[in-house]
A = this chain, B = another copy of it.
Amino acid sequence: MLHDLFTPSVQHALDLAGIFVFAISGALLAVRKNFDVFGMAVLAEITALGGGLLRDLIIGAVPPAAFTDLGYFSMPLVATALVFFLHPQVERIQGAVNVFDAAGLGLFCVTGTTKAYEFGLGLTASAALGLATAVGGGVLRDVLANEVPSLLRWDRDLYAVPAIVGAAMVALCIRFDALNGLTSGFAVLTAFVLRLLAMRFHWRAPRAWNRRSAAAEEPSPS
């Protein structure tokens, strides 16, 4: 059954679902930042497609999938319309959105790593690009919204680590010639569950040792 997970059509459906939930997070941030409907659409598109776009530019897969698959391009517009008309309701189910976002994270770190390897990159570089695929869109979203990227902040639940684990699992599977639908699915699932656990138990990563307390008062370097 997990093997079926990666037939082309199911893969595509999963991609679209991942793109959709990432786009929701972009559109919601746009509403909180008081952007208009076009700002919502731009932020939704970039959040959803930005990670894959970066990956495709870096591996030389041009034009990137974001510009060749009309479904990829349309999904964020659907998400924008939904948030535009129903954003209080969407906000209220933020918990559900977070679960889907975790699923997108797991899916994209695995497919990103696989695609980078197929384009000839080494295992470490492929895993790094898998991570970039999964988290890149969210970073671009926050940069465009003029916020400190959520990914980098210490007071957010672990986000990069689940994606790193998923990408590393794929790289290990490739190394030992064991990548198939089953192991890929297991990597997706591991990243997904790790992210859910991180949210549930507020797992956080440590900051530098011996941070002088003064630094907390002056976050911007002078």
Interface residues of A (CB under 8 A from B): 29-40, 42-43, 53, 57-60, 62-64, 67-68, 70, 73, 83-88, 119-122, 124-125, 128-129, 139, 143-149, 151-154, 160-161, 204-212, 215-216, 218-221
Contact = CB atoms under 8 A, between A and B. Distances in A.
A32 B221 contact: yes
Given A67-B121, A125-B67, A208-B31, A160 B60 contact: no
Given A29-B221, A128-B73, A87 B144 contact: no
Contact of A204 (B36, B84, B120): B36
B87 A211 contact: yes
Number of copies: 3
Contacts of A128: 67, 73
Contact of A88 (B39, B212, B218): B212
B67 A220 contact: no
Contacts of A151: 38-39, 42
B35 A124 contact: no
A66 to B, nearest CB: 8
Contact of A209 (B38, B84, B153): B84
A128 B187 CA distance: 34
